[in-house]
Amino acid sequence: MPATDFDAERRYDDERFSTSEVFRSDRMKVVCGYFEPGQFIPVHAPDSDVAITVLSGSGVVREGETDREVDPGDVVVVPAGTARGVKASEGERLEASLVTAPPPTDAEHDPVRAGLKRGEFDPRAGGE
């Protein structure tokens, strides 16, 4: 049984959000996500459901065209095929678990890589 905690997995990167994979199967992927202030996972719409649980900090989870403010203890679930992204508030770090089912494909993460490369939270909008 995979088991860990946020303290054991914690690592931050000055350049971009970081994740620590806790578990992966062909049906599910579980990661701990660590965001410095203002860091983000760019908006993308893979064919997988995601459940995001905020442990600490605050930020925004994009679900379709809606930005949802999140704080510790909040859980946001975004269905497969719906555009989503995560962004830490400017004033503090954000830590969250992200559970995706099934795990997104490498090709489905192309918009994430493109958004990170250009520094865009929403690459579909050409910047943000």
Q: Is the pTM of this model over 0.85?
A: yes
Residue 86's nearest CA partner among 70, 106, 109 is 70
Q: Give the chain's domain count.
A: 1
Q: How do 49-56 and 18-24 pair as beta strands?
A: unpaired
Q: Give a yes or no: residue 100 inside a domain.
A: yes
Domain presence at residue 123: no
* H or E segment and range at residue 44: strand 40-44
Domain that holds residue 82: 20-118
pLDDT of 1 reads 60
Confirm whether 31 is domain-assigned.
Answer: yes
Higher-confidence residue of 1 and 105: namely: 105
Look at residue 109 and tell me if it is in a domain: yes
Q: Residue 57 falls within a domain, yes or no?
A: yes
Predicted confidence band at 126 (pLDDT cuts at 50, 70, 90)?
A: low
The mean-pLDDT minimum among 23-27, 84-88, 106-110 falls in 106-110
Q: At 95, which CATH number?
A: 2.60.120.10
% of the chain surpassing 90 pLDDT = 81
Q: With contact defined as beta carbons under 8 Å apart, do 88 and 94 qualify?
A: yes
The whole-number average pLDDT for the span 43-59 is 97
Distance CA(77)–CA(99), nearest Å, equals 9
Predicted pLDDT of residue 127:
47
- Whether residue 79 lies inside any domain: the answer is yes
Instruction: Report the pLDDT value the prediction gives residue 9, as an integer from 0 to 100.
Output: 83
